Amino acid sequence: MRLDDATVFVTGAGAGIGEATALACAAEGATVVATDVDEEAAAETAEAVRDAGGEAVSHALDVTDGDRVHDLVAATAEEYGLDGIVNNAGVGHPPAYAEETGTDVLERVVDINVYGVWHGCHAALPIMKEQGRGAIVNVASLAAVLGLPKQAVYSLTKGAVLNFTRAIAAEAGPKGVRANAVCPGFTDTDLGRQYFETQSNPEEVRARMEAQYPLKRLGEPEEIADAILFLLSEESSYVTGHGLIVDGGYSIS
């Protein structure tokens, strides 16, 4: 198995890409530490892992709380070891032009999407550097590469995640630590569906969006999880500082 005897810490593991990642890692032999701001959702993911024959524990975690992130990552390393961390927790915002977006939206999205990733990496890096190995995967977005209209704040934060990933890859590589990002296109998750619900005709908007993708459909969380799994595993042992686009061909259309 690709992650046999490894321990992987996953944020935002209660649903969507995070949940799919937890299940995929466990299926490949990892012990999963599933965390989410929704404690019950994290527990349900851990239970699903165990029901499938894997090993998992769960914890409530607000990634904007830097002290809590550091404490929980350190406790994980102490009890189980720390081979990988997936900084997945993130939020979007209702479509709006940049000049129409309020500071409250900016602060909330930056707090979770940028500071959350910063805290996870900041906590994991010293541990991984000291042990001379480890894989960090940060969940960015296609918005980090293209920039999306009426998604200025989201694009801002995900662009920051991608470039931050490159910076820490350069810093940590000499210590045997790899850092990569995944850049998913529109994925069929609760967060994605919330976007459609803001539209006057959700089904029509979804159909129009799907038509823009060469594969003529949205991504599934499990497909993004497979990319994350690759970046965590030794199959990507010579890959670092990379933003892996997983977008059904949208960026070439």
Active site residues: 154
Edge-to-edge, what's the strand order for the sheet holding 55-60? 55-60, 31-36, 7-10, 84-87, 134-139, 177-184, 243-246
The amino acid at residue 107 is E
Q: Which two tokens stand for residue 181?
A: 């990002």
Distances (CA, A) of 135 to 28, 59, 100, 103, 253: 15, 21, 38, 34, 32
CB of 46 closer than 8 Å to CB of 8: no
- The SS3 of residue 180 is strand
DSSP annotation of 218 reads: P
Measured CA to CA, the distance from residue 143 to residue 72 in angstroms comes to 30
The amino acid at residue 23 is L
Measured CA to CA, the distance from residue 233 to residue 6 in angstroms comes to 10
